[in-house]
Structure 1
Amino acid sequence: MTRWAPDAALRLEAAALDLVAEQGYAATTVPQITHRAGLTTRTFFRHFADKRDVFFLRDREFPRVVAAALEGLPAETAPLAALQQGLERATSPLAQWREPILRRRAVIRAEDQLRERELLKSGHLADAIAEALVARSRPGTEVTPAEARLLASVAVLVFDRALDSWLDGPPLSPLSAHLADAWRDLAALFGP
């Protein structure tokens, strides 16, 4: 067993995904995951609080990435435009993770307790977006905390829809195209 590995969290995630695909979520244990990854149980618990946590590895940083993308936009960008541009910037690196995200989604959809955790993750993303919108608020682009929360909730729904469409679509289609489609569909629902 390797005591230290720079890619330990990714190896543990891959092992967990493989084991769940083979034997199901309930039958998969932390010792099995660590054995498959060639790591120790202690290493597992350095990275993850429990078995559920291993399926949310990539979601830890995403709220911060989205917030940083929003903060990096010009101050004069209107809140809705900032959301659209910020999400597009934040999601561009996800293309390289399509296959693990697709496998992870299948595991989460099959397990109620993981679906609960997925909803919590969406709440954290909405919180990060709302805070970033308020923080970047300037005269001419000001947004109240209540408005920011509403915009953030809508952005998370749009992102989730775009992500599902991307994962269900052709493997080479860019996530940004699905995100643009989801924003257009939302705008069409409300009319001109």
Structure 2
Amino acid sequence: MGRWEPNARGRLEQAALELYVECGYEQTPVAEITKRAGLTERTFFRHFADKREVLFSGSSTLEELCVGAVAAAPTTATPMEAVAAALDAAAGVFEERGDLVGLRQGVIDANAELRERELIKLASLSGALACALRDRGVDELDAGLTAEAAVAVLKVGFRRWVDGGRERPLRPLLTECFGRLRAASAQGAVGAG
């Protein structure tokens, strides 16, 4: 095996996902992942800290993409419009990766440790969105609430997309979720009085 292998990271991701689906996350050792990818364990650990990070290594890139989209939103955009632009950018990445995203989510759904890691990732995304909104001049409370609402929209829209076999594009599902959230907000407090 040569010192340099083309697309080693992608091959490791693909091999890991296939094995996680076939054998289960917990039952898949790094040695099996590298064997399937035709690479060494040393190569694996150059790309990933552990086998869990195969599933979450793109989190920081996604966060940067979303923060960049909030920053690039027109100055006239409301905070909710700015985070909607961020989720639209994220949806493009998810849609592009299609089948891999579905496989990844199935692996996460089947493992409590991975579900917990996913929640940590989403909390980090919310914090990054709130910070990006504050950088736009949004006060702390509104920034935090808007960021949390955006993550809720992402979770619900993404789940509908994955559970629906990705037949409908993710972007319209997110738009629909934002619309429902706006409609629920416009109805006022239910049961108040």
1:140 corresponding residue in structure 2 = none
The amino acid that maps onto 1:53 is: E
Q: How does 1:173-184 map to 2 (within 5 A)?
A: 173-184=168-179
Q: Could you tell me which runs of 5 or more consecutive residues in structure 1 were left unpaired when the two chains were aligned.
A: 138-142
Number of residue pairs matched by the alignment? 187
2:87 corresponding residue in structure 1 = 87
Asked if 2 retains the 8 angstrom alpha-carbon contact of 1:3 and 1:43, the reply is no
Q: How does 1:22-101 map to 2 (within 5 A)?
A: 22-101=22-101
2:181 corresponding residue in structure 1 = 186
- CA gap of 1:76–1:104, structure 2 versus 1, over 3 A, is same
The amino acid that maps onto 1:39 is: L
Structure 1 CA distance for aligned equivalents of residues 182 and 23 of structure 2: 43
Q: Could you tell me which runs of 5 or more consecutive residues in structure 2 were left unpaired when the two chains were aligned.
A: 188-193
Structure 2 CA distance for aligned equivalents of residues 176 and 128 of structure 1: 21
Asked if 1 retains the 8 angstrom alpha-carbon contact of 2:19 and 2:33, the reply is yes
Structure 1 CA distance for aligned equivalents of residues 17 and 76 of structure 2: 43
CA deviation vs aligned residue, 1:152-174 (integer Å, no higher than 9, x gap): 11111101111111112254422
Structure 1 CA distance for aligned equivalents of residues 66 and 105 of structure 2: 20
The amino acid that maps onto 1:186 is: L
- CA gap of 1:80–1:25, structure 2 versus 1, over 3 A, is same
Q: TM-score, normalised by structure 1?
A: 0.90
2:122 corresponding residue in structure 1 = 122
The alignment yields a C-alpha RMSD, in angstroms, of 1.6
- CA gap of 1:120–1:2, structure 2 versus 1, over 3 A, is farther
Structure 2 CA distance for aligned equivalents of residues 70 and 27 of structure 1: 40
CA deviation vs aligned residue, 1:24-77 (integer Å, no higher than 9, x gap): 122100111111111111111111111111111332310100000111111221
**Once the 2 structures are TM-superposed, how far is the Cα of residue 6 of structure 1 from its aligned partner?**
4.6
Asked if 2 retains the 8 angstrom alpha-carbon contact of 1:9 and 1:57, the reply is no
The amino acid that maps onto 1:110 is: A
Asked if 2 retains the 8 angstrom alpha-carbon contact of 1:3 and 1:39, the reply is no
Name which of 141, 146, 156 aligns with 1:161: 156
Matched, 1:4 2:4: yes
Moved more, 124-133 or 167-176: 167-176
The amino acid that maps onto 2:168 is: S
Asked if 1 retains the 8 angstrom alpha-carbon contact of 2:65 and 2:86, the reply is no
**Tell me, what secondary structure is at the counterpart of 1:165?**
helix
